[in-house]
Amino acid sequence: MEELALFKNDENIKVFDDDVVINVLISTIDERINAIPAILFEKQPNIKYVISHQYTDPKYKILPGLLNRDDVILSQISSRGLSRNRNNALSLVESGIAIIADDDVRYLPDSFQKIRAVFQENPDTDVACFKIQTCEGEPAYKRYPDESYCFNLERKHYLSSIEITFRVKKIKNNNIFFDERFGAGSEKIPAGEEEAFIQDCLAKKLRVNYYPFYTVKHSYQSSTKQWSGYHKTRIWITAALEARRSVPKAVALALFRTARQILYLIKNKVNPLYYVFECFSAIWYIFKTNKQVTRRD
């Protein structure tokens, strides 16, 4: 069964397709919707662009005419929070392969073919993570492993959302979604949503593999690179992600990190008491909100 149209409302729309379909889940907000047409390729078989457009004022609901295509699904929601936006996009698909996308990315000419081939050639792969290519003249986006490997809770490199692809049915059947306490526009933790997502995939025993192929293009600059290792946001992300796994273990790790780094903290003019206080604040926030984490379609 297939439902394919351009939607300009908040209705709960579902898209059903077989597993050869690539669903590019694009999250955007307000006037940045105008950047979306530049991401889209000419229409290709079995490629769909699923756009979740958050708006903070009705004036932003006006849509670019170039999005009026039969390979585009669009839902507008009045809200904030990147993870909520990603969850809305995810709610619009039921099968196929999903690619997490933002409104400032570009895809390489063979990106979708590479991604589809990886899933077809590796039927045990539930989630596949790839590489980001930077613009000409820019340094590499990050240091990537040279070889493919299977993630586990102890062995994984730092991920960016736009590197992540997955089998939609595996994610849906395991009730996995983006933790709305994390990500840009959230109340306390403006990043880390991709790590929380992968953490949940691994906890549900999904197979998460890394493949050293470039699939998406993005500028070297990103919001997370502005924070130093001891910036409050970095402290909160680390401690909060640990607390999602185990609050007692997160407390122990916070104390251990503080003791291990105490001389380095002092050298960098970071009060160790401040450091451990922020760790505990993040852990407490996760603990007190754990029961409130529910999916919001």
pLDDT digits (tens, 9 = 90+) for 277-294: 999 999 999 999 998 775
Do 183 and 232 lie in a common domain? no
**Helical residues (DSSP H) of the chain, grouped into ranges:** 82-91, 111-121, 168-173, 193-203, 232-245, 247-260, 262-267, 272-289
Do 158 and 29 lie in a common domain? yes
Residue 29 neighbours by CB under 8 Å, 6+ apart: 53, 54, 55, 56, 80, 85, 103, 185
Which domain-ending residue is among 221, 252, 270? Answer: 221
9 domain residue, yes or no? no
Do 31 and 171 lie in a common domain? yes
3-class DSSP state of 175 = coil
Helices (H) and strands (E) in the chain, counts: 8, 9
Query: What is the domain range of residue 242?
Result: 227-292
Do 204 and 262 lie in a common domain? no
Domain count, the chain: 2
6 domain residue, yes or no? no
In which band, very low, low, confident or very high, does the pLDDT at 8 lie, cut at 50, 70 and 90?
A: very low
Residue holding tokens 């590499």?
140
Question: Residue 248: beta bridge partners?
Answer: none
C-beta separation of 45 from 39 below 8 A: no
Which domain-ending residue is among 204, 221, 238? Answer: 221
Distance of CA 57 to the CA centre of its chain: 25
Which domain-ending residue is among 181, 199, 221? Answer: 221
Do 142 and 242 lie in a common domain? no
C-beta separation of 118 from 179 below 8 A: no
Work out the average pLDDT over 144-158. Answer: 88
**Least confidently predicted of 10-14, 97-101, 148-152, 173-177:** 10-14
Residue holding tokens 């698909």?
93
Handedness of CA 150, 166, 213, 104 (dihedral sign): negative
Do 141 and 269 lie in a common domain? no
Report the pLDDT value the prediction gives residue 295, as an integer from 0 to 100: 44
User: In this structure, what are the phi and psi dihedrals at residue 133, rounded to the nearest 5 degrees?
Assistant: -95, 135
> In CATH, what number is assigned to the domain containing residue 167?
3.90.550.10
Work out the average pLDDT over 42-48. Answer: 94
pLDDT at 16 over 50: no
- Residue-averaged pLDDT of the chain: 90
- Taking only the tens place, the pLDDT of each residue in 212-267 is 999 999 999 876 666 677 889 999 999 999 999 999 999 999 999 999 999 989 99
Report the pLDDT value the prediction gives residue 202, as an integer from 0 to 100: 95
